[in-house]
């Protein structure tokens, strides 16, 4: 059963060491190829490619957005003072006091707000530890995401099968109408010939009739269209990611339907072929959302 190309999944969870709550949301949109973007906290930036790989193992097409949020930052494992910056700042203060005769003192409250003076350092090992504990939450979000894509895919498949049933019904109708069309064409031709005053060469007439019937024969088109439908249903039922294959088969089905339309030469057959083409177009719209 196919998966829909669109879907959304969510998961929330917490890790204990350090205590952080996470929310993960995964959304996907139609796209010809696979494109994964990750929006995550700074501490997870080194793991973006791994997050993409986790998603890529489960999907084949679509524009996918992974959003990871946390309720607090990972505590820094080390705090440092930029001493060269502090010395430069204090030197500048002394120069200003001497040159402009400024009075006053500097306390810690003046120094701490200086941008970049205090550095919070985070070791890679800390982020790795947090990410390792976070991965099950990511896995739950992916499972939720796939479950929705599967449900949507099942609904799409049901609608497609309704259209397939209509096409099959019209193929059988056309096959039954072929003898009637041929007989009607023959009768029409003989009626025209009754008013033809010159002597007729019956052998030549029959040859021309057979040639015309053979040229307008649509039996093979009906068989090929029926074969394409069988392959289409098989892929729809058994393949997890049949989107590209279904698109190819739709092109072949459209080609056969167009040929039937050109060669129909009979109102009832033309009417049935128009219904087939309408259903093929409905299927095409649905398949655009199949992964």
Which CATH number do you get for residue 59? 3.30.230.10
105 and 31 together in one domain:
no
Q: What is the pLDDT of residues 115-156, one digit of tens each?
A: 887 776 555 557 888 899 999 999 999 999 999 999 999 999
92 or 165, which is more confident: 165
- Considering the domain boundaries, does residue 100 fall inside one? yes
Q: Among 49-63, 104-118, 226-240, name the one with the lowest average pLDDT.
A: 104-118
Q: Is the distance from CB of 25 to CB of 141 less than 8 angstroms?
A: yes
* Residues 152-192: tens digit of each pLDDT: 999 999 999 999 999 999 999 999 988 887 777 766 666 66
Residue 2 placed within a domain = no
Q: What is the dihedral of CA 97, 102, 107, 113, to 10 degrees?
A: -80
Q: Are residues 231 and 251 in the same domain?
A: yes
* 246-279 per-position pLDDT tens digit: 999 999 999 999 999 888 878 899 999 999 999 9
Give the model's pLDDT for residue 96: 83
Lowest mean pLDDT among 88-102, 132-146, 203-217: 203-217
pLDDT for residue 76 is more than 60: no
Angle, to 10 degrees, between the axis of helix 267-287 and the axis of helix 243-263?
Answer: 160
pLDDT tens figures, 32-57: 899 999 999 888 989 999 999 999 99
State whether 129 and 221 are in the same domain.
no
| Overall average pLDDT of the 223-231 stretch | 94
Predicted local distance difference test score (pLDDT) of residue 205? 64
Do 181 and 265 form a contact (C-beta atoms < 8 A)?
Answer: yes
Buried b (16+ CB within 10 A) or exposed e, 233-248: bebbeebebbbebbee
CB 24 within 8 A of CB 138: yes
- 92 plus 61 within the same structural domain: no
Q: Provide the pLDDT for residue 55.
A: 96
188 and 141 in a single domain? The answer is no
pLDDT of residue 78: 65
| Residues 27 and 143 both lie in one domain | yes
pLDDT at 62 over 60: yes
DSSP string, 198-267: SPP-HHHHHHHHHHHHHHT--HHHHHHHHHHHHHHHHHHHH-SS-HHHHHHHHHHHHHHHHHHHHH--SH
For residues 225-238, average pLDDT: 94
pLDDT, residue 167, reads 96
Residue 192: the pLDDT is 63
What is the pLDDT, as a whole number, of residue 17?
A: 80
Whether 179 is covered by a domain: the verdict is: yes
* Model pLDDT, residue 219: 86
Statement to judge: residues 189 and 62 lie in one domain: no
Q: Are residues 137 and 11 in the same domain?
A: yes
Tell me if 67 is assigned to some domain: yes
Q: Tell whether 159 is covered by a domain.
A: yes
In a domain? residue 1? no
Task: Look at residue 88 and tell me if it is in a domain.
Answer: yes
The pLDDT score that the predictor gives to residue 94 is 84
pLDDT at residue 118, rounded to an integer: 79
Domain count within the chain: 3
* pLDDT over 60 (residue 215): yes
Residues 167 and 229 in one domain: yes
136 and 113 in a common domain: no
Domain that holds residue 58: 7-74+125-151
In a domain, 115, yes or no: yes
**DSSP symbol at 4:** B
Domain identity same for 115 and 179? no
Task: Note the pLDDT of residue 90.
Answer: 86
Are 88 and 38 contained in the same domain? no
């Amino acid at each position: 059963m196919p998966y829909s190309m669109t879907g959304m999944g969510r998961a929330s969870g917490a890790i204990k060491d350090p205590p952080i709550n996470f929310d993960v949301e995964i959304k996907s949109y139609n796209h010809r190829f696979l494109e994964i973007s990750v929006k995550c906290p700074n501490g997870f930036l080194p793991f973006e490619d791994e997050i993409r790989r986790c998603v890529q193992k489960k999907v084949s097409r679509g524009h996918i957005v992974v959003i990871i949020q946390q309720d607090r930052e990972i505590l820094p494992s080390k705090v440092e003072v930029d001493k060269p910056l502090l010395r430069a700042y204090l030197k500048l203060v002394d120069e200003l006091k001497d040159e402009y005769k400024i009075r006053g003192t500097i306390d810690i409250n003046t120094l701490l707000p200086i941008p970049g003076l205090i550095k919070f350092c985070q070791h890679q090992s800390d982020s790795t530890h947090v990410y390792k504990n976070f991965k099950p939450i990511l896995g739950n979000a992916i499972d939720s995401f796939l479950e929705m894509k599967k449900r949507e895919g099942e609904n799409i498949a049901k609608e497609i099968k309704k259209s397939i049933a209509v096409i099959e019904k019209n193929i059988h109708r056309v096959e039954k109408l072929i003898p009637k069309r041929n007989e009607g064409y023959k009768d029409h031709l003989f009626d025209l010939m009754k008013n033809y005053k010159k002597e007729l060469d019956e052998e030549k007439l029959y040859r021309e009739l057979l040639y015309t019937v053979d040229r307008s024969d649509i039996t093979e088109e009906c068989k090929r269209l029926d074969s394409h439908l069988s392959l289409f249903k098989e892929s729809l039922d058994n393949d997890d990611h049949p989107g590209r294959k279904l698109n190819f088969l739709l092109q072949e089905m459209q080609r056969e339907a167009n040929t039937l339309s050109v060669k129909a030469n009979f109102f009832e057959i033309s009417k049935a072929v128009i219904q087939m083409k309408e259903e093929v177009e409905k299927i095409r719209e649905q398949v655009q959302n199949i992964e």
